Amino acid sequence: MQTAGQEAELTDTSTATDCDILVIGGGPAGSTAATLLARRGWKVVLLEKSHHPRFHIGESLLPANLPLLETLGVADEVKQIGMMKWGAEFVSPWHDHTSTFHFADAWDKSMPYAYQVRRSQFDEILFRNAARNGAQAIEGARVREVDFAPGGQGATVRAEHDDGTVHTWRCRFLVDASGRDTFLANRFKTKQRHPRHNSSAMYAHFAGATRHDGRDEGNISIFWFDHGWFWFIPLSDGLTSIGAVTWPYYMKRRDKPLREYFLDTIAQCPKLIARLAGASIASEVEATGNYSYVNAHTHGPDYLLLGDAYAFIDPVFSSGVMLAMQSAFTGADTVDACLREPARAPQALAAFDRAMRHGPKEFSWFIFRVTNPTMRHLFMNPRNTLRMKEALLSILAGDIFRDTPYKPALYAFRTLYYVFSAANLRRTIGAWRARRNNIRVDDAGAGAAP
């Protein structure tokens, strides 16, 4: 049998429990998939290694999240914990003005806002909703081993509970929604650093940060600086999430405790410092490397990878939660088709693969260029010629899985980018070389500012 597990053998003397579908991970992807599949009458087990509420980064949602929340039946609960987010602000040290994009100006005007949320609250809402909808939702159960039966006939899963006991489940289909733990990808050794991107991050919550007035109070702010960019996310409880996403060389230079290094990094961005005058850190400072990765495949004959268990590139456009939840909707349809009509499984899995690759691809063109001087110029000086600004806002809103007809205008924007890049060829080549060096930096590399 194909095995995905740890080296130490687990002893479980109990009788294995049968279920139709087992989901690893009680985050947005796993809880969403468990809810949708349980509604369809399947016996679903949802295993979460921690206990809700638990801290998680990635607090900024997109307007495209809202229809998904409505379908799940949790829109009102999320509204109660959310800070209204009407747009996104970009701040550049190389420009004397800011640039604000409002979602109401996107091609489709029906999704004018999103929310900023504490992920501890948001994830718990989704997890409890899965239980209300009939999934067996278990906390404090870390999956240790998975054995796949020959011929795509399901899997045997062993999980260790907080008290050390081990339980075994036999499932017909396995859904890996383990997030950045990437359970199956790690064990199959199919996880790869993203070949075209490489970044690290450090972050914390602050009390007393200055917010904008009126409807712009909840907007996310993106601050560029020499070594990457910062996020500034206001939360409804008065705290603000601040994070620095940098090229790996910058994190490798750290020669002091993380908290001090983070504060020194913020000090390099005067416009962010101005928003933090009188503010104080209200949480531990956290850091993560290996921020950008992709798995070699999205599925097998009896398993799927959802959300971050498959890939994560960069958080600059707040796409993570939306892509995770959307993958769960697509994944639930796929699993349902595979179990009800096995003859359709190859076609369903192929369609799932295309959908999983589509999301990261749509955002990645911008992510790969977001620190490029030409892209900064276009973001800081947006024009709606040929409706290009509306098309760009459709991407920022996460409207990438519907048939909204903004593609010609988006191609026009990309063409404009290449024209500007050619007109400033020397600068473009310099930025390309710096980016190439930063992506390829090794443990001894120094990197270069983009």
Query: Any idea which of 12-16, 232-236, 294-298, 412-416 has the lowest mean pLDDT?
Result: 12-16
Q: What is the pLDDT of residue 15?
A: 72
278: left (phi over 0), alpha (psi -120 to 50) or beta: left
Is 126 found in the same domain as 44?
yes
Query: Any idea which of 3-7, 215-219, 228-232, 428-432 has the lowest mean pLDDT?
Result: 3-7
Which of 253, 288, 323 corresponds to the end of one domain? 288
Is 225 found in the same domain as 347?
no
With cut-offs at 50, 70 and 90, classify the pLDDT of residue 187. very high
Q: What is the pLDDT of residue 441?
A: 56
Is 132 found in the same domain as 49?
yes
Q: What is the pLDDT of residue 440?
A: 73
Is 137 found in the same domain as 180?
yes
Q: Does residue 372 sit within a domain?
A: yes
- The two three-digit tokens of residue 119, written as one number: 């992920």
In angstroms, the CA 87 to CA 111 distance is 11
Residue of 308, 281, 277, 314 whose CA lies nearest to 295 = 308
**Count of residues in the chain:** 450
Q: Does residue 130 sit within a domain?
A: yes
Beta bridge partners of 87: 102
What is the domain count for the chain? 3
320: left (phi over 0), alpha (psi -120 to 50) or beta: alpha
State the CATH number of the domain containing residue 169: 3.50.50.60
Please return the burial class of 72, using the count of CB atoms within 10 Å of its CB with bins 0-12, 13-18 and 19+: buried
In angstroms, the CA 57 to CA 255 distance is 25
pLDDT in tens, 325-372: 999 999 999 999 999 999 999 999 999 999 999 999 999 999 999 999
- Determine the structural domain holding residue 104 and report its residue range: 65-118+195-288
Is 91 found in the same domain as 28?
no
Mean pLDDT, residues 23-50 taken together: 98
Q: What is the pLDDT of residue 11?
A: 57
With cut-offs at 50, 70 and 90, classify the pLDDT of residue 437. confident
Q: Does residue 91 sit within a domain?
A: yes
State the CATH number of the domain containing residue 223: 3.30.9.100
Q: Does residue 23 sit within a domain?
A: yes
Mean pLDDT, residues 86-93 taken together: 98
Mean pLDDT, residues 95-123 taken together: 97
Q: What is the pLDDT of residue 445?
A: 42
Which of 242, 269, 288 corresponds to the end of one domain? 288
Q: Does residue 207 sit within a domain?
A: yes
Q: What is the pLDDT of residue 209?
A: 98
Taking each helix axis as running N to C, give the angle between helix 373-380 and helix 407-423, from 0 to 180 degrees, rounded to the nearest 10. 120
Mean pLDDT, residues 238-244 taken together: 98
- The two three-digit tokens of residue 308, written as one number: 């971050």
Query: Any idea which of 2-6, 237-241, 406-410, 429-433 has the lowest mean pLDDT?
Result: 2-6
Is 215 found in the same domain as 201?
yes
Q: Does residue 253 sit within a domain?
A: yes
- Could you tell me what percentage of the chain is helix, strand and coil, using 3-state DSSP and rounding each to the nearest 5? 40, 25, 35
* φ/ψ (deg, to 5) at 167: -125, 150
Q: What is the DSSP letter of 290?
A: -
Is 109 found in the same domain as 169?
no
Report the mean per-residue pLDDT for the chain: 93
pLDDT in tens, 262-283: 999 999 999 999 999 999 999 9
Q: How many CB atoms lie within 10 A of CB 231?
A: 23
Q: Which residues of 319-356 are buried (b: 16+ CB within 10 A; e: fewer)?
A: bbbbbbbbbbbbbbbbbbbbbeeeeebeebbeebbebb
With cut-offs at 50, 70 and 90, classify the pLDDT of residue 12. low
- The two three-digit tokens of residue 26, written as one number: 């009680």
Is 184 found in the same domain as 131?
yes
pLDDT in tens, 133-180: 999 999 999 999 999 999 889 999 999 999 999 999 999 999 999 999
Residue of 253, 249, 309 whose CA lies nearest to 440 = 249
DSSP strands (E only) in 49-86:
83-85
Is 402 found in the same domain as 325?
no
Does 10 have pLDDT greater than 80?
A: no
CB 160, CB 138: distance < 8 Å: no
392: left (phi over 0), alpha (psi -120 to 50) or beta: alpha
CA dihedral 169, 18, 189, 306 (to 10 degrees): -110
Q: Does residue 247 sit within a domain?
A: yes
Is 136 found in the same domain as 24?
yes
Q: Does residue 60 sit within a domain?
A: no
Residue of 49, 41, 38, 43 whose CA lies nearest to 17 = 43
Task: Give the rounded percent of residues in the chain with a pLDDT score beyond 70.
Answer: 94
Is 130 found in the same domain as 38?
yes
Is 260 found in the same domain as 206?
yes
Beta bridge partners of 202: 244, 287
Which of 288, 313, 341 corresponds to the end of one domain? 288
In angstroms, the CA 308 to CA 301 distance is 20
Q: What is the pLDDT of residue 8?
A: 43
Residue of 417, 392, 396 whose CA lies nearest to 406 = 392
